[in-house]
A and B are shown apart, each in its own frame.
Chain A
Amino acid sequence: MRGLVTFLSAFVVVALGYWAYHQNILTQQSIREVERLQREIGLEGENLSVLRAEWAYLNRPDRLRELVDLNFDRLGLLPMSPAQFAVMDEIVWRPETQPPEAVPLQAENILFSASQTEEPL
């Protein structure tokens, strides 16, 4: 009986040791994985910030103004004037693009040029 208990406890100790070792290995693997991902996140974040800077650079008002001047005739542009204010509902949308959510007709909501937030990415 005593021998059996001894044997069993020895077995349990070995099993627990194996389990702990296994968990240790798994943890280390996870840590390595997390570190890899973090490095990747860091790199992606860096790329993102570069892209964001590039987006801002390409959209700088100076450049847009130049492009507008270059393509004024080709695109049939008009100088911006207060007379061009319109109501959202009056705009006919292309079939493949969905208009933005319908908004109740109020003075504040006509202000699409200023109130729309531009999101680069």
Chain B
Amino acid sequence: MTRRIALRPLARILEARASGANPDAIERENLARRHEQARDRMRQRAESRLLMLATAFFAAFLTVGVKMTTLAGSEPEEPHIARSAASVLGTRADIVDRQGRVLATNLVTNSLYVQPNDLIDPVTAAAGLAEIFPDLEEDWLLRRFTSGSSFAWLRGSISPEQQQRVHDLGEPGLLFGPRDMRLYPNGALAAHVLGGARFGEQAVNSAEILGVAGIEAQFDAELRDPARNGEPLQLSLDLTVQAAVEEVLAGGMTLMNAIGAAAVLMDVETGEVISLASLPDFDPNARPRPLLVGDQADSPLFNRALQGVYELGSVFKIFTAAQALELDLVEPETMIDTRGPLRMAGFSIEDFSNYGPENSVTDVIVRSSNIGTVRLAEMIGTERQQEFLRSLGLFETTGIEVVEQRAARPLYPSRWTDLSRATISYGHGISVSPLHLAAAYASLLNGGTRVRPTILRRDTPQEGERVVSEEVSALAAAMLRQVVTDGTASLGEVEGYEVGGKTGSADKPDPEGGYYEGRLLSTFASVFPANDPQYVLIVTLDEPNIVMLGEERRTAGWTAVPVAAEIIRRAAPLLGLRPESVDPELAYQLSSASQ
């Protein structure tokens, strides 16, 4: 309690009155004193308030400062909630076939590394490891362990059994790091399309996976993109069809004593490659090294179906015939002069045997007459021939989404002489890959619109630019059908599927000039069903050689055609094509018999 003081100092005023002094002075003095006291109080209050305010500001700035210091000093870190399952999605996306079956996926394994400084007994450790991994040498291991380095990788990925055995060695210096390993569960199936992968940058707790070839290299960035959220890459390949094609092709290659083989199966409307096989093949899980000497085309890594460009021979004749029909130069029944041999710029063009003085355009194709085709090409002319082949995509790379295709540029003469025109009309003097041929056949036979091959699944037809009219497309398919029914490809008949196609047997060019004698590349370019083309199948055998009916046979009619027919027999039902002439009664009996 403060002492209460009267406002007026009555005692002193009374005293002053009594003594005759001026009481006003006393009162003023008193007032001034009171004012002074009041001012002091207010100042004190203001000062304390200022102090409080300063403290508050200081505390606030201190908080901000401390927070900033900790932020600057700490590792950057995402907010807890946003850091959702990042470890799950950081992996490389799977590759699946058109029905979602896995072609490439990741498997968590462990890598093995060593910190030699922590090894208790390097000698025993080296011996133990050499026993677990037969390809590691004990001496080499021991040298690494005693070389004084503090860290060394031993294996990129090891199996759980191996991990357990290494664990059982009980060495604290042998350590494991988690590793995502790229796994191709189907082994060599579609190896050339998938390519392969390897480890890139390695750290103890993870490693980059890099695609090195095929789809893996083409879509490397997309597959690694975390924003993809693990969504698999869907290819147009069909696993079962691919397996059937590879099995039949491998069997055919062995049977025909061929050194290599390739097959391309393509949907004519969408341009999707349903199956693409090249033999010999390899296991992408253990991708072989590229050849250091010799021809890369001999390596199993070489994709004959889309990397190899070959002179494919008579399969080109249908292009010449179709163009002549398209330009209204001939009708299928028009007779063509096929008297030979034809002499041209020092070369002699002959037929396999003499087909008589005149043949209809259809028969030129059915009997595969070189001379007749050259006559057709003469009518067409050089300019228009080039233009047509270009419109079929035979002068440029296919553009399929597999890296190797970039190098597969067709070879054709820079100076297109009359002789070039003549030989190219029946498929010599121009080199393309089987995939080029498949795309060109698809473009010709799907109603006449350009198709560009793709390895990614799509559901809509490609509305490409027009190559030939629908009528010519149907006529070409009918001619190809006749090649099978009456011509060089009679072994290509498959019950229930109207197979049409054209054979081609071309001498292989010798790299030193000229052509090899008796070394052929046999090709069968087929389409089925011919009355409503849906799929194109190209089968190529490299140097086939088989003794049949007491004679050595190398030409496509005896080698590539039966292989292609077997592929169609196996693959067409898998593709869901209902055979034409199969008796429904019989089918019913079969289905009820299997109950």
Query: Which residues of A pack against B, CB within 8 Å?
Result: 31, 34-35, 38, 41-42, 45-46, 49-50, 52-53, 55-57, 59-62, 65, 76, 78, 80-87, 90-92, 107-108, 110-120
Residues in A neighbouring B509, C-beta threshold 8 A: none
Residues in A neighbouring B586, C-beta threshold 8 A: 83
Binds A, one of B101-109, B287-295, B419-427, B517-525: B101-109
Residues in B neighbouring A81, C-beta threshold 8 A: 569, 573
Residues in B neighbouring A56, C-beta threshold 8 A: 101-102, 105, 185-186
Contact A107 B189 (CB under 8 A): no
B289 to chain A, nearest CB (A): 24
Contact A62 B187 (CB under 8 A): yes
Residues in A neighbouring B578, C-beta threshold 8 A: 85, 107, 110-111
Contact B186 A62 (CB under 8 A): yes
Determine the distance from Cα of A82 to Cα of B333 in the docked complex, in whole angstroms. Answer: 34
The one of A49, A55, A60, A78 in contact with B107, judged by C-beta atoms closer than 8 angstroms, is A49
The one of A41, A82, A108 in contact with B579, judged by C-beta atoms closer than 8 angstroms, is A82
Residue in A closest to B579 when the chains form the complex, CB atoms: A82
Query: Which residues of B pack against A, CB within 8 Å?
Result: 80-81, 83-85, 87-88, 91, 99-102, 105-108, 183, 185-187, 189, 238-240, 243, 247, 494-497, 569-570, 572-579, 582, 584, 586-588, 590-592, 594-595
Residues in A neighbouring B577, C-beta threshold 8 A: 111
The one of A84, A91, A118 in contact with B573, judged by C-beta atoms closer than 8 angstroms, is A84
A66 to chain B, nearest CB (A): 12
A11 to chain B, nearest CB (A): 23
Residues in B neighbouring A117, C-beta threshold 8 A: 99-100
Residues in B neighbouring A120, C-beta threshold 8 A: 102
Whether A41 contacts B186 in the complex (CB less than 8 A), given A49-B107, A113-B576, comes out as: no
Determine the distance from Cα of A120 to Cα of B582 in the docked complex, in whole angstroms. Answer: 33
Residues in A neighbouring B240, C-beta threshold 8 A: 61
Residue in A closest to B242 when the chains form the complex, CB atoms: A61
Whether A113 contacts B590 in the complex (CB less than 8 A), given A65-B247, A82-B496, A85-B582, comes out as: no
Residues in B neighbouring A84, C-beta threshold 8 A: 573, 587, 590-591
Contact A46 B108 (CB under 8 A): yes
Contact A83 B579 (CB under 8 A): yes
Determine the distance from Cα of A90 to Cα of B186 in the docked complex, in whole angstroms. Answer: 34
The one of B81, B105, B496, B595 in contact with A83, judged by C-beta atoms closer than 8 angstroms, is B496
Contact B105 A85 (CB under 8 A): no
Determine the distance from Cα of A56 to Cα of B497 in the docked complex, in whole angstroms. Answer: 32
Contact A85 B573 (CB under 8 A): yes
Residue in B closest to A47 when the chains form the complex, CB atoms: B108
B199 to chain A, nearest CB (A): 18
Residue in B closest to A116 when the chains form the complex, CB atoms: B99
Determine the distance from Cα of A92 to Cα of B594 in the docked complex, in whole angstroms. Answer: 10
A101 to chain B, nearest CB (A): 18
Instruction: Give the top 9 A-B pairs by smallest Cβ distance, nearest first.
Output: A111-B576, A61-B243, A114-B576, A56-B185, A82-B579, A56-B102, A86-B591, A57-B185, A82-B496
Contact A82 B101 (CB under 8 A): no
Contact A118 B576 (CB under 8 A): no
Residues in B neighbouring A114, C-beta threshold 8 A: 238, 574-576
Contact B101 A118 (CB under 8 A): yes
Residues in B neighbouring A111, C-beta threshold 8 A: 576-578
Residues in B neighbouring A49, C-beta threshold 8 A: 91, 105-108
Residues in A neighbouring B88, C-beta threshold 8 A: 41-42, 45-46
